[in-house]
C-alpha cells in the first residue's frame, strides 16, 4: 500500500467522486435540475460550481493563482446544461484536471507555496482546502439525490440496520494497513 500523503488524497478524492456518481446515477434526468427553492442549488448547478473550482484551482496549479482571471464563479450558480450528458461531461472535465494534477505532484513539492486569491498556501494546505470543499458539495449532491430518489434510494454506505453485518465482515478479516476505500 502506498502510504504517501498524495496517494491518500487521490484515494479520498476518488472516493468522493464515486459517491457523487453513484448518487447521480440513481436519479432520472429531470431530478438533476430540481431545486428546493430559489436559494437552493440543483445537482447540475453544484456540479458546475465544483468543476469551475477544480479547473481554476488545478490548472497550472504550481505556477498561477488558483483563482484564474477567466473563472466566473457567479455564473457557476446559473443553470446552463441541457441534459445529463452535458452535466456528466463537465463533471469528468473537472475531476480529470484535479486528479491529473495530483498524480503529477511529488512529495518534495508539498511545502511549495501556491496562491489562491493572493493568499499563500503550501501545496498540502491548498489540497486540504479542496479536500474539505468538494466533499461538502458532494454531501449536498447525495442529500438532494436521496430526497429525490425517496424509497428507491440505495445506500452509498452502510445501509440502515446493517452495521452489525458490516462490522462482522470487517472483523473477520486479518488486521492490516489499508485505506478504507480499498474494500469498495
The backbone torsions φ and ψ at residue 120, rounded to the nearest 5 degrees and listed phi first, read: -75, 140
Across 57-88, b (16+ Cβ under 10 Å) vs e yields bbbebeeeebeeeebeeeebeeeebeebeebb
pTM of the model: 0.94
Q: Please identify every stretch of the chain with a pLDDT value under 50, giving residue numbers as ranges.
A: none
pLDDT computed for residue 1 by the predictor:
54
Q: How far is CA 158 from CA 6, 11, 155, 163, in A?
A: 27, 19, 7, 6
pLDDT computed for residue 181 by the predictor:
80
pLDDT computed for residue 177 by the predictor:
85
Amino acid at each position: 500500500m502506498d502510504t504517501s500523503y498524495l496517494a491518500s488524497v487521490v484515494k479520498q478524492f476518488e472516493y468522493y467522486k464515486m459517491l457523487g456518481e453513484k448518487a447521480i446515477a440513481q436519479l432520472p434526468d429531470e431530478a438533476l435540475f430540481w431545486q428546493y427553492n430559489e436559494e437552493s442549488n440543483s445537482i447540475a448547478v453544484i456540479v458546475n460550481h465544483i468543476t469551475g473550482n477544480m479547473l481554476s484551482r488545478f490548472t497550472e496549479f504550481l505556477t498561477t493563482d488558483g483563482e484564474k482571471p477567466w473563472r466566473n464563479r457567479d455564473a457557476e450558480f446559473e443553470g446552463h446544461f441541457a441534459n445529463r450528458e452535458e452535466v456528466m461531461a463537465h463533471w469528468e472535465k473537472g475531476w480529470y484536471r484535479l486528479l491529473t494534477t495530483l498524480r503529477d505532484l511529488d512529495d518534495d513539492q508539498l511545502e511549495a507555496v501556491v496562491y489562491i486569491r493572493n493568499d499563500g498556501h503550501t501545496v498540502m494546505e491548498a489540497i486540504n482546502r479542496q479536500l474539505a470543499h468538494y466533499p461538502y458539495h458532494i454531501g449536498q449532491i447525495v442529500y438532494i439525490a436521496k430526497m429525490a430518489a425517496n424509497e428507491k434510494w440505495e445506500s452509498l454506505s452502510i445501509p440502515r440496520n446493517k452495521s452489525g453485518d458490516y462490522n462482522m465482515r470487517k472483523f473477520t478479516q486479518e488486521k492490516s494497513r489499508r485505506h478504507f476505500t480499498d474494500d469498495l
